Structure 1
Amino acid sequence: MYKVAVLGDRESIYGFVAIGLETFQLDNAEDGADRLKMLIEERYAVIYITEKLHEQLEELIESYNELPLPVIIQIPGLSGNTGKGMLSLKKTVIRAVGSDVTLEKE
């Protein structure tokens, strides 16, 4: 069975425990890099990561983009939504489907 993890600061991720996801509280980018590598080695299928932590680990995450798994998805943190998560998801869909399939509001 595939596993799902959530990485980020405590305040941003603690609610995900209630829906059964494994959460990993990280206090700095170094811990985040180590944990991300471990989760990839353990074959997690989906890894949600706060936008702030994603920004700090962007180079490492880019190195895993060609792998079929895991899917690494940015989520807003406690500090708010920067829009980077939606942009990243849109790019992933374009890469998977071959074109932009989103509907733009007019």
Structure 2
Amino acid sequence: MDRIAVIGDYDSIYGFGALGLDLFPVSTDDPEAAATLRQLASEESRYGIIYITEELAASLKDVVDKYARQPLPAIIPIPGVKNNTGVGVEMVKHSVEQSVGSDILFGKD
């Protein structure tokens, strides 16, 4: 697991190509989006980190949740250029709560 993938709409992910990350442009209405994510998450693909746009993560919640219980690959939501849902912030908040046993953002609206 030594590769990093970015999956989401092209406009949101194309800049990551300049960093040498592998790009997988799909849209939320693409019937193959879930299959693409499953393929990237498979052990054979060797992706240790998969960045996914928030909009796509929200539309593929069941698939993302399946891999959230596994140590690898790490599936990390990132904001896209549109339709951000806040799921990335919520996932980080949840992870911190699990780690430290407390809501560190309590009262910070």
TM-score range for the pair, normalised by the shorter chain length: 0.7 to 0.9
> Take 2:101 and 2:46, find their aligned partners in 1: how far apart are those partners?
28
> Take 2:102 and 2:31, find their aligned partners in 1: how far apart are those partners?
35
Matching residue of 2:82: 79
What TM-score do the two structures reach when normalised by structure 2?
A: 0.81
Matching residue of 1:57: 60
Matching residue of 1:44: 47
Q: Secondary structure at the match of 1:5?
A: strand
Deviations 1:11-61 (A, max 9, x none): 010000011111100133422211111111123111110111111100111
Question: Once the two structures are aligned, what percentage of the paired residues are identical?
Answer: 41
> Take 1:46 and 1:22, find their aligned partners in 2: how far apart are those partners?
11
RMSD: 2.1
What TM-score do the two structures reach when normalised by structure 1?
A: 0.83
Matching residue of 1:13: 13
- Distance of aligned partners of 1:101 and 1:45 in 2 relative to their CA distance in 1, 3 Å threshold: farther
- Superposition deviation, residue 90 in structure 1: 1.8
Matching residue of 1:99: 101
Q: Count matched residues.
A: 105
> Take 2:23 and 2:30, find their aligned partners in 1: how far apart are those partners?
16
Task: Show structure 1 runs of 5+ residues with no match.
Answer: none
Matching residue of 2:69: 66
Task: Show structure 2 runs of 5+ residues with no match.
Answer: none
